[in-house]
């Protein structure tokens, strides 16, 4: 969960950890980038890649 107490918001990213090999967060000035990576493997029509996830924005108490 990413929390910004100044804005009073939190972002939850839910996903199946069995589908994700790496989870990266880049938090910059005014931007946030969330990345979910699978294991490295060939992808084709016969062996597609899918990572299912959902975001939820929650209110939290401000500072």
Query: pLDDT tens-digit profile of 6-45?
Result: 999 999 999 999 999 999 999 888 888 999 999 999 999 9
Instruction: Say how many domains are in the chain.
Output: 1
* The pLDDT value given to residue 59: 97
Q: Which domain holds residue 50?
A: 2-59
- Give me 6's structure tokens: 């100044």
From residue 19, alpha-carbon distances to 9, 30, 51 in Å are: 27, 29, 6
Whole-prediction pTM value? 0.76
């Amino acid at each position: 969960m990413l929390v910004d107490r100044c804005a009073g918001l939190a972002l939850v990213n839910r996903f199946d950890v069995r589908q994700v090999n790496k989870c990266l967060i880049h938090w910059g000035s005014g931007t946030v980038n969330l990345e979910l990576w699978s294991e490295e493997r060939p992808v084709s029509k016969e062996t597609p890649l899918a990572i299912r996830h959902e975001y939820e924005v929650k209110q939290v108490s401000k500072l």
